[in-house]
Each structure stands twice: as structure tokens, then as C-alpha cells.
Amino acid sequence: MHKKNMVHRDIKPENILLSSQINLSVKLADFGFAQTFDPKEGLTDAFGTPFYMAPEMYLGNPHGTKADVWSVGMVLSILMTGKPPFPVKSKQQLLKFFTTCTDVKLDEKQ
């Protein structure tokens, strides 16, 4: 998908499907926000589930496949720690966090 300059833009737990067979396979679902793009320009419209969106999407900056990598990182962080990596509860708080935070510290349990 990424090799074809397509970005999913809505990677979240609900869109990750796991097989229940012995040979585990992982698949992405819900390509409603997926879009091809010019890697020299990127995309500037923000689509997806707010909590899993990359900072550049919130800020209206060009984005591409790295935004999907960010979303996978968010999913993995929650899987590993059992909680979101950022101390926010709303889209507005997340935007403020992205525009003012300079350092993210994990607590000892993480």
C-alpha cells in the first residue's frame, strides 16, 4: 500500500483484524479515508480518528505514509502499556499538547 503512495489515514484497533487460525495473519480494514498522494507534496486534509492521527495532520501540515506509522505506534503503545501515551482526554487537549509539548516522559511502569 505505502509503496504505491497510498496512505490509510485511519489505523486504530477497530480497523486491525487478526485471524483466529494457527498461522496468525493481520489485515487492515476500513479504507474509507485511504488516498493516494504525490510524495513530493503530501496530503493536507486531515481524516481519521482524532486520537490516532499524527501531529502533522492536526496542524494542517503535509503528511503521507509516516502518518500511518504514527498511528501504528499509538496502537502499539496502548497495547504495551494499557493506556494512551499522552495525558489528554479530548481533541482540543491533544491539539494543545502537540503545539506546546517539547518532551514526553513515560512513567516507570511504562
| Per-residue pLDDT tens over the stretch 10-19 | 999 999 999 8
Distance, in Å, from the CA atom of 76 to the CA atom of 84, rounded to the nearest integer, reads 10
3-state secondary structure of 27: strand
Give me the amino acid identity at 51. Answer: F
Among the listed residues 10, 45, 68, 103, the single catalytic one is: 10
Residue-wise pLDDT tens digits, 62-106:
989 999 999 999 999 999 999 888 888 888 888 888 888 766 565
| Separation of CA 80 from chain center | 16
Active site residue 45: no
Which domains does the chain carry? 2-100 (1.10.510.10)
Cβ distance 100 to 93 under 8 Å? Answer: no
Containing H/E element for 88? none
Which residue in this structure is represented by grid cell 494512551? Answer: 84
Q: Residue 24's pLDDT is what?
A: 86
Q: Residue 106's pLDDT is what?
A: 58
Residue 110 pLDDT exceeds 60: no
